[in-house]
Structure 1
Amino acid sequence: MTDDSTDADDTGSNGAIGDNDDTGNRTDRTDSRADERDADADLERAVEDFLRDARGVYEEYEAGYLDPDAALWTLEGHIDGLEDAIRAPNDED
């Protein structure tokens, strides 16, 4: 009788074998969605940073603090940073 109870414990909570696999798959999907949300939040933050920084360059140029070459050079750096942020989630695959 002890062996029968041990066999029953090996099955899932509803008596079906393999319930643990289903739980694992659900966890994988949940992790994937969380990763996507994190990537979306990172990208949104990168875009916000770029827009703020680009606006700052424009304002400094308009105020006469930057010459055209310096403004373009600075904007190029901000564009590169945004491109890196866009590529980063794809590089992890």
Structure 2
Amino acid sequence: MHPATEMHHRLYRGRQGSTHNVENLLHLCGWGNHTGCHGTAHSGAEGELLGWAIRSGGDPAETQVTYRGKQLYLTADGGRRSIYPSAVH
């Protein structure tokens, strides 16, 4: 695992993504859009499968992301929430 060095927009600005909404940002390793995890995010299908890239019209707050091996949603307050709702007691 390499240290994160780049800020990545999950819904690319070119796909009408909000520039700096917290739930749209990931801190990834790699340089530019070509190496490391940042390169993976821009690789097409694999980036979309991981939730590191979102198709046009997608909502980052409602798109799962693989984060440290777990499927989560990123939240506007900088937090994360599970894809599994809590059991109601």
Q: Which has the higher strand share?
A: 2
Q: TM-score range by the shorter chain?
A: under 0.3
Q: Which has the higher helix share?
A: 1
Larger-gyration structure (1/2): 1
TM-score (norm 2): 0.26
TM-score (norm 1): 0.26
